[in-house]
Structure 1
Amino acid sequence: MTSYRRNNVNTSAITITEYATPSPLDWFVIGCMLALFGTGVASPWITPGDHIWNLLTQYFPGGAEQALWMARTLVPLLAFAHAGEVVLFDQLRMRRHGVRRWSRVWWMWEISCAVEGIRAWKRVDGVIAHKKKE
């Protein structure tokens, strides 16, 4: 199997065996994305006078109406984009670098990609670059 992998054009000699912990900036992006997804999913239940409505009115530029419009518009687009990104991430990074599908490491990377998007790509590329130096 190893000789097959090395002879296959779509695989790399570098194998990813670990998950890289997100940086503080990654955690900020994760929080923003989860808040956006949560607002988009919960938007039908956010009505004038609710606690969340009041928070959005007070802190979001443009008020609660603008925040809900953005969430309802962006969440389906982002969900579609991130779903495609997860498939590409699996093919171009996980599979190519020997991460077994459905393994613990695979799930951690794929969930990160689903939530973070491009930040997960940059982090896995950092892991690959580090392994190349070794």
Structure 2
Amino acid sequence: MSVPNDGSKERTLSHMNKDHQHDLSAILKHQLGISSPNPELTDISLSSLTIAANGKTYAVPISPPMASWSDRRTRLVEMTMSARSALGLGADGKPLVVRRFLAPSSFGAVVFAAVVFYFSCFAAVRAGLVEPGRPAWGVLEAVRFPFGPRGFRWVVERIFWGVVAIHVGECWWLDRTRLRRFGVGRGSWLWLAWMTRCFFEGVTTFKSFDGEVEGLGKRSE
């Protein structure tokens, strides 16, 4: 099936060049790694976009090719959204920048509190507060902790480095895949707040951060 000769292609080219030039820039950057502030869509077929930029002409593949010409709007929207997501851009073509911190909530708050409690237990064990004759020792005996207070100390100390490694790894991944990408500068108070939350809360921090980014994208439309 070919592109119909009814003026619809010309209207599509005109619309994209007039109202979506920043989206063409994003598509070109995402698909081919070419940066251009003012690209021009010069042709479109079922299998590719032809974009003029920087004095050259580039063919951007539509993969898979469109089944029919009537699919063009849907496919252009899909290519645009994919490019925005990959490049961290809003609907206006500008980079999305996270400027606020969100405190833990619901299940995330429970996880945060549980991890804080664990590190408090570790600190208590290392400080000698879980010893015979100490109040904590009596409490553990009263609640019949498995294998008693000695079992409690063994578990708390044995898992410490594993817990630290997991949470440090989560912080590293948050910084690498999200904080730097969305303009949260390393060492800033905002960076420290998100990193602290991630260290104690873990993976649910990612969902919260992604929700903030999604909200920024919607507000830019």
Tell me the TM-score normalized by structure 1: 0.81
Deviation, 1:87, is 1.5
Trace 1:1-134 onto structure 2 (pairs within 5 A): 11-13=87-89, 14-44=96-126, 45=128, 46-59=130-143, 61-62=145-146, 63-134=148-219
Deviations 1:11-61 (A, max 9, x none): 522221111121143222222111111212331411122111222333364
Distance 2:201 2:124 in 1: 20
Moved >4 Å (runs of 4+):
6-11
Contact 1:11/1:95 (8 A) holds in 2: no
| Structure 2: runs of 5+ lacking an equivalent | 1-25, 34-85, 90-95
Task: Give the aligned CA root-mean-square deviation in angstroms.
Answer: 2.3
Deviation, 1:110, is 0.6
Contact 1:17/1:99 (8 A) holds in 2: yes
| Structure 1: runs of 5+ lacking an equivalent | 1-5
Aligned CA distance change for structure 1 residues 82 and 60 (closer, same or farther; 3 Å): farther
Distance 1:60 1:123 in 2: 37
| Equivalent AA in structure 2 for residue 58 of structure 1 | A
Larger relative contact order, structure 1 or 2 (CA cutoff 8 Å, min sep 6): 1
Aligned CA distance change for structure 1 residues 55 and 11 (closer, same or farther; 3 Å): farther
SS in 1 for 2:159: helix
| Equivalent AA in structure 1 for residue 124 of structure 2 | A
Aligned to 1:3: none
Distance 1:28 1:119 in 2: 11
Aligned to 2:93: none
> Which structure: greater strand fraction?
2
Q: Which is higher, the Rg of structure 1 or of structure 2?
A: 2
Contact 2:102/2:208 (8 A) holds in 1: yes
Identity rate, percent: 24
Distance 2:182 2:132 in 1: 50
Contact 1:11/1:98 (8 A) holds in 2: no
